[in-house]
Amino acid sequence: MRLGAAALVLTMAGAAHAGDPGPGREAELVRLVRQDCGSCHGMTLRGGLGPPLTPAALAERPDAMLAATIVHGRPGTAMPPWRPFLTEAEADWIVAQLKRGTLGDDATR
């Protein structure tokens, strides 16, 4: 978990900004969502072993529930907690981006 600790330090640095994560950190989060969330949800977020994360698929789900799922995972499923790698504010930002569809096909890698 040495790398996990390194990521945590990065996260704390990112958290110093209020509101939006800031351009550098946003790029990291976009990469995290597409590549690492993408391991299960698909790089284009259209689903894999995990369900799709497209705006249509998430439209009916409350933001707070989605953000909590990211941070804490869903026990009993394959969804792990991402708390070691991001803050709650960053999870909120990811949920907003997912609902707008800015992290899928059109986002830069």
Subset of 56-75 contacting another protein (CB under 8 A): 73
Subset of 13-52 contacting another protein (CB under 8 A): 31, 35-36, 38-40, 42-44, 46-49
Interface size with another protein, residues (CB under 8 A):
24
Residue 38 CA to residue 48 CA, distance in Å, equals 8
**For another protein, the closer CB: 96 or 107:** 107
Q: Does 99 bind another protein (CB under 8 A)?
A: no
In angstroms, the Cα distances linking 8 to 69, 79, 81, 87, 94 are 19, 19, 14, 9, 17
Q: Where are the beta strands (DSSP E) in 13-101?
A: none
Cα Rg of the chain, angstroms: 13
- What residue ranges bind another protein (CB under 8 A)? 1, 3-4, 7, 31, 35-36, 38-40, 42-44, 46-49, 73, 78, 80-81, 84-85, 109
